[in-house]
A and B are shown apart, each in its own frame.
Chain A
Amino acid sequence: MSKGRFFAFVWTFFLFLLQNAVTYVFPDKTPPFLLMGVIYYALQEGPLFGMALGAFAGVFLEVFTAGALGYQMVIFASCGGLSGFIASKIFRESILVQVFLPSVMLYFLTLFNLLIFKAQTGGIEGFFALSGAFRPWELLAAALVSPIAFSFLRKVSSRSISR
């Protein structure tokens, strides 16, 4: 494994800790730093690495969930894989990509989680999952913070590799 890829895992773990720390300050509106990390590295390294990193990031979130294991890993791996796949179709350095991609992925991440919850318990309607996953404040927070997070990751990643 290259040095850059190794540090991608290290920074992903750091983003998990950062996200956990920020929940104490903004409990309901914490930007999804972990997801942003997965998307950033998937855009840089491609779909396979995005999938692997997404699965790694999902492991941390498994601690907070109940029931069967692995759903967060699958969902995050899908987000990573998808982001890596579309990296070749879009201009990944574009500010629009940095603003909208994490928000779109966050919407799908929430939607899949709600659908899994529905499948497990039958607790909510399918249509509700579509609307329930739309959380304007969280999506807005993701859109606003993601360019900063991407810029931070770009800087630390290049430094990590040059050392």
Chain B
Amino acid sequence: MKPTRIFFGLTILLFLIVALPLSTAVIFRRGLSDILKNPVLFSRQVTQSALDLFYFRRNAAQAQELRRTLSAGSLKSFECEELRLENERLTKLLDLKRTLPDSIRRQVYCRVIGRSPLIWNRAFLIDKGTEQGIRANMAVMSNISLVGKVGESGPSVSKVVLITDPNSKIGALIQRTRQEGVLYGTTTGECRMKYLSMDTPIKQGDKVETAGYGGFFPKALIVGKVRKVWKEPGQIYQVAEIEPFTDLSRIEEVAVVQNE
């Protein structure tokens, strides 16, 4: 076959793929994620084993430290349980609507099996999907804070879009002032919050949590703290740079919060 024909054939094929409707793209990605799941998982396990061997001494010391912390923590857990029961009693007594619905306590724990190698794109794959009840737009948390949301979910693999990804936009508020804004990611991998009123003084270290509007995300999931605040030139609002509580580049396990 003539090279020019191959060239034009390939070019036309690629542009036809780009022109595919979004619904087809989602189906294709789901299928592809499922196909790639096992090889990607294998590569992750090989790396993990190599790292475990490399950090054997450190891990052993860490395990000893954790055992000590755990025994000290068990005493605290009794106190926490007491406080929780007291809180439950008082909430019922005051007949307050609970801020966090019961359903958000249902969490699916997942392992991170693949990270996006693209510099500008902050996403990763997790090893659970629709078969485990995971759906698009569900909140994804580390053990401490919100890290992102489910972008797409296949039968056994889902894609998580991190809060630092440029495609991520989440309603949030400053915990201290209750000032609302939109949390978004930038192409340089930062997390920012915009549309913050000029009248509200926002301080460095102010905590940021989800606003819970729109019904996709549960309310009051902690995200991070304000690193710095400034006024965008030509705009009538402030922008804050948010430092996530979790190191987003080192996440290995996450919990998907089922809010349905």
A residues bordering B, Cβ < 8 Å?
13, 16-25, 27-28, 30, 32, 34, 47-48, 51-52, 55, 59-74, 77, 106, 110, 113-114, 117, 121, 123-124, 128, 132, 135, 138
> For residue A59, which residues in chain B have a CB less than 8 angstroms away from its CB?
32
A64–B159 CB distance below 8 A? yes
Closest to A59 in B: B32
What's the interface size class on B, roughly?
35 or more
Bound complex: CA A55 to CA B36 (Å): 17
Give 10 A-B pairs besides A68-B18, A110-B119 with Cβ atoms closer than 8 angstroms: A17-B40, A17-B43, A20-B43, A23-B115, A48-B3, A61-B117, A63-B159, A113-B118, A113-B120, A132-B187
- Between A and B, 22 residue pairs with Cβ closer than 8 Å are A19-B117, A20-B40, A20-B114, A21-B47, A24-B44, A28-B249, A30-B117, A47-B7, A48-B6, A61-B116, A63-B29, A64-B159, A65-B121, A67-B22, A68-B22, A69-B18, A74-B18, A113-B121, A114-B187, A117-B166, A121-B167, A123-B166
Bound complex: CA of A107 vs CA of B7, how far in Å?
24
Q: Give the residue name and chain of the A residue nearest to B112 (CB).
A: A24
Indicate the member of A18, A32, A69 with the most B CB atoms within 10 Å: A69
Contacts of A55 in B (CB 8 A): 10, 14
Select from chain A the residue with minimum beta-carbon distance to B251.
A27
Known: A17-B43, A20-B40. A69 touches B24 (CB 8 A): yes
User: B36 to A60, Cβ gap below 8 A?
Assistant: yes
Interface of A is mostly: helix
Cα distance, A21 to B63, chains bound together (Å): 25
Residues of chain B in range 106-144 having any CB-CB distance to chain A below 8 Å: 114-121, 123-125
Q: How far is the CB of A11 from chain B (nearest CB, A)?
A: 14
A52 to B30, CA, bound (A): 23
B33 within 8 A of partner (CB): yes
What's the nearest-Cβ distance from chain A to residue B140, in Å? 15
Q: Is the CB of B121 within 8 A of A77?
A: no
Cα distance, A72 to B120, chains bound together (Å): 13
B residues near A61, Cβ cutoff 8 Å: 116-118
Residue picked from B29, B119, B189, B250, most chain A C-beta under 10 Å: B119
- A25 and B10 alpha carbons, distance in the complex (Å): 36
Task: Assess the B51–A24 pair: CB atoms within 8 A.
Answer: yes
Tell me the chain B residues, 17-48 only, with Cβ under 8 Å from chain A. 17-18, 20, 22, 24-25, 28-29, 32-33, 36, 39-40, 42-44, 46-48
Residues on A with C-beta less than 8 A from B152 are 66
- Whether a CB of chain A sits under 8 angstroms from the CB of B151 is yes
Going nearest first, the 10 A-B pairs with the smallest beta carbon separation are: A27-B249, A64-B116, A70-B17, A69-B25, A70-B18, A17-B43, A21-B47, A23-B115, A21-B43, A19-B117
